[in-house]
Amino acid sequence: MSEQFSTVYLARHGETAWSISGQLTGLTDLPLTERGERNARRLGDRLRGLRFTKTLTSRLQRTIRTCELAGFGRFAQVEPDLLELNYGKYEGRRSVEIHAERPEWLLFRDGCPRGESPAQVGARADRILRQIQPLKGDVLLSQVGTSSGFWPLPGSALKWTRAGSFS
Q: Which residues contact 96 (CB under 8 A, 6 or more apart)?
A: 22
pLDDT at 142 over 80: yes
- Alpha carbon distance 145, 11 (integer Å): 8
- Asked whether 85 and 121 are in contact (CB, 8 A), the reply is yes
Which residue did the predictor score with more confidence, 100 or 146?
Answer: 100
Q: What is the pTM of this model?
A: 0.82
Domains of the chain (ranges; CATH) run 7-161 (3.40.50.1240)
- Asked whether 152 and 13 are in contact (CB, 8 A), the reply is no
Ramachandran angles phi, psi of 142, nearest 5°: -105, 120
Ramachandran angles phi, psi of 111, nearest 5°: 70, -155
Active site residue 13: yes
Write the pLDDT tens digit of every residue in 9-55: 888 888 999 999 999 999 999 999 999 999 999 999 999 999 999 99
- 143 torsion bin: left (phi>0), alpha (psi -120 to 50), beta (else): left
- Alpha carbon distance 15, 32 (integer Å): 6
pLDDT for position 133: 86
Which residue in the list 15, 37, 79, 84 is annotated as catalytic? 84
Residues counted in the chain: 167
Write the pLDDT tens digit of every residue in 81-124: 998 889 999 999 999 999 999 999 998 889 899 999 888 888 88
Which residue did the predictor score with more confidence, 54 or 159?
Answer: 54
pLDDT for position 10: 85
How many angstroms separate the first and last alpha carbons of the chain?
Answer: 25
Largest Cα separation within the chain, whole Å, is 56
Segments in 48-113 forming alpha helices (H):
61-69, 95-101, 107-110
pLDDT band per the 50, 70, 90 thresholds, residue 130: confident
Active site residue 97: no
Which residue in the list 13, 15, 79, 116 is annotated as catalytic? 13
The helix (H) or strand (E) run that includes residue 126 is helix 118-132
Give the type of residue at 74: R
- Alpha carbon distance 13, 99 (integer Å): 26
